[in-house]
Amino acid sequence: MRFSSLSEWVDWQQHLHSSSIDLGLERIRVVARRMNLLAPPDFKIITVAGTNGKGSSVALLEAMLRPHGRVGAYTSPHFLRYNERVRVDGAEVDDERLCAAFERVEQARGGTSLSFFEYGTLATLSIFREEKINYAILEVGLGGRMDAVNLWDADIALITSISIDHTEWLGRTREAIGREKAGIMRPGRPVVCGEPDPPVSLPDQAHRLGAPLQRIGRDFFAQPLGPDRWRYHHRDGMMLELPTPRQLPGKVQLNNAAGALTVLRHLGKIDLEAIRHALENVSLIGRFQILKEPVDTVLDIAHNPEGAVNLARNLRRYRPGRPLHAVFSALQEKDVANMLGPLRPLVESWHLSKVESPRAMPLQTLRILAESCKLTKVHLHPTLAEAYREAASRAGQKGTVVVFGSVFTIGEFLLYRPQELETGQASAPVK
């Protein structure tokens, strides 16, 4: 075996390919063929694409489907452990199984260069076949059409929100981005769309393929009934009153839950007990995640303007009137001005930092963008630890700290943890 530990494999894969993002299916198809992974699998594939809401939708589907068979879930990125990306029946696959799968990829790779995501996708499909699962839920890494998971045909495609993000790879308009995400559709196979106002390119592609499309707001609906209840309604007459996702707040999560339920309807797997249990118990790292100690803190991966709008909406409902102090960092390619704007009326002080990633936006660039947004009480900090310590000190027992801006921001925070932030000690940042 090339490496004996998972950390060695992961570190090596990150430097194997010349570019961290290199969309296309040619390289991965070559290696998949050598691994005998191109034959139609014995399990149903649900492919999930979208700008925001993919992770929540995968987690909800995973929990709702488990009473009906073995479920594999593939998500990205990870926060603390690579194992978070690959789950079977709700449990992370252990280091030994992942290392063995990576070795199989390496034996088949030959001279073909694979990106980090391509390598992991091949390993995951290899594990899923070994585990003899019944359902595979595959989260698209970027876009859809040219993403590695799209090498395998979706039995059902689920598309969540569509907004402007990753423009250097997907295009600069919603129509172009919608076209890329529509690439996960297959002729004659169902498509569920949880975007209330999708770009025309999406239904147009479904029509061209003869793929039956069901859209929220037209074919199925999510109606809030109060803080703890909501109604799922399908145009065919199905109506269910359900608990709101307890640990995934906000109207957007009702849309995600309604999309997941519509996928289940296509599969003929409506189990009310499993659905209620999923809604009451599913949680995700960094999706309006609340930590109470030592200071009231909200963690949210909001990494684009749409995510920031949803975060601001949830913060208005969460403990209104309490002073809010923001810790923020972002990656270079992000639309930071439109991420800061939605929170400007809510935040009393801003604490900007640079995460430990080669893609991180420089601190001085963040400062310039903050000035352009007319933010007040802006403080620059060399590390996320220092940014959080200062924000927490200002919040005290009467205020709230919100940490947001990227998966890297939340991952780095979780590695440090509040008790370590207080002492200035830190672990290695998430990759």
Sheet holding 86-88, edge to edge: 91-92, 86-88, 71-74, 135-139, 44-49, 156-159, 191-193, 213-215
CATH number of domain containing 167: 3.40.1190.10
**Does residue 197 lie within any of the structural domains?**
yes
DSSP letters spanning 361-423: PPHHHHHHHHHHTT-SSEEE-SSHHHHHHHHHHHHTTT-EEEEES-HHHHHHHHHHHHHHHHH
Helix or strand (DSSP H, E) at 242: strand 239-243
Would you say residue 202 has pLDDT above 50?
yes
Under 8 Å between Cβ of 421 and 343: no
Same domain, yes or no: 37 and 121: yes
CATH number of domain containing 336: 3.90.190.20
Listed residues 228, 255, 281: the one ending a domain = 281
**Does residue 430 lie within any of the structural domains?**
no
Under 8 Å between Cβ of 412 and 385: no
* Lowest-confidence pick of 127-131, 252-256, 425-429: 425-429
Same domain, yes or no: 126 and 274: yes
The identity of residue 208, as a single letter, is R
Q: What are 419's two structure tokens? A: 């008790």
The mean per-residue pLDDT over the stretch 13-41 comes to: 89
At 56, is the secondary structure helix, strand, or coil?
Answer: helix
Same domain, yes or no: 236 and 300: no
Sorted by sequence, the CB contacts under 8 Å of residue 20 that are 6+ apart come out as 14, 115, 116, 359
Same domain, yes or no: 214 and 293: no
The runs of H, that is alpha helices, within 14-53 are 26-34
Would you say residue 16 has pLDDT above 90?
no
Model pLDDT, residue 425: 38
Same domain, yes or no: 212 and 293: no
User: Could you tell me if residue 237 is left (phi over 0), alpha (psi between -120 and 50 degrees) or otherwise beta?
Assistant: left
Q: What are 293's two structure tokens? A: 């100690």
The mean per-residue pLDDT over the stretch 352-357 comes to: 89
Same domain, yes or no: 247 and 328: no
**What are the φ and ψ backbone dihedral angles of 183, each rounded to 5 degrees?**
-65, -10
**Does residue 429 lie within any of the structural domains?**
no
pLDDT digits (tens, 9 = 90+) for 304-354: 999 999 999 999 999 888 999 999 999 888 889 999 999 999 999 999 999
**Cα–Cα dist 67/64, whole Å:** 7
Measured CA angle at 428 (ends 426, 431), to 5 deg: 140
pLDDT bucket at 168, cuts 50 / 70 / 90: low
Model pLDDT, residue 169: 54
* Lowest-confidence pick of 159-168, 207-216, 383-392: 159-168
The mean per-residue pLDDT over the stretch 80-86 comes to: 95
Count CA atoms within 13 Å of residue 421 on its CB side.
Answer: 21
Same domain, yes or no: 109 and 175: yes
Model pLDDT, residue 430: 34
**Does residue 151 lie within any of the structural domains?**
yes
**Cα–Cα dist 336/344, whole Å:** 12
pLDDT digits (tens, 9 = 90+) for 396-426: 999 999 999 999 999 999 987 755 444 443 3
Sheet holding 400-404, edge to edge: 289-291, 297-300, 400-404, 324-328, 349-352, 378-380
Q: Identify the domain containing residue 32 by its residue range.
A: 6-281
Same domain, yes or no: 270 and 404: no
Total domains in the chain come to: 2
At 108, is the secondary structure helix, strand, or coil?
Answer: helix
Same domain, yes or no: 208 and 303: no
Listed residues 251, 281, 311: the one ending a domain = 281
Under 8 Å between Cβ of 262 and 238: no
Give bridge partners of residue 352 from the DSSP assignment: 328, 380
Q: What are 428's two structure tokens? A: 């290695």
Distance of CA 130 to the CA centre of its chain: 26
Model pLDDT, residue 293: 77
> Locate tokens 């208005």: which residue?
316
Give exposure, 67-78, as e/b (b: 16+ Cβ within 10 Å): ebebbbbbbbbb
Same domain, yes or no: 53 and 191: yes
**Does residue 431 lie within any of the structural domains?**
no
Sorted by sequence, the CB contacts under 8 Å of residue 26 that are 6+ apart come out as none
**Does residue 428 lie within any of the structural domains?**
no
The mean per-residue pLDDT over the stretch 25-29 comes to: 95
Would you say residue 243 has pLDDT above 90?
yes
Q: What are 109's two structure tokens? A: 């790779």
Same domain, yes or no: 345 and 234: no
Same domain, yes or no: 208 and 116: yes
pLDDT digits (tens, 9 = 90+) for 252-262: 999 999 999 99
Would you say residue 206 has pLDDT above 50?
yes
**Does residue 123 lie within any of the structural domains?**
yes
In 3D space, the residue among 195, 186, 242, 243 whose CA is nearest the CA of residue 217 turns out to be 195
**Cα–Cα dist 300/284, whole Å:** 10
Q: Around Cβ 342, how many Cβ atoms within 10 Å?
A: 19
Give bridge partners of residue 287 from the DSSP assignment: none
Sorted by sequence, the CB contacts under 8 Å of residue 302 that are 6+ apart come out as 308, 310, 311, 339, 404, 405
Between the alpha carbon of residue 371 and those of residues 40, 86, 345, 364, the distances in Å are 54, 41, 15, 11
**Does residue 94 lie within any of the structural domains?**
yes
pLDDT digits (tens, 9 = 90+) for 48-63: 999 889 999 999 999 9
How many helices (H) and strands (E) the chain has is answered by 15, 17
Listed residues 281, 309, 327: the one ending a domain = 281
Q: What are 227's two structure tokens? A: 């803080």
Model pLDDT, residue 277: 94
Model pLDDT, residue 164: 64
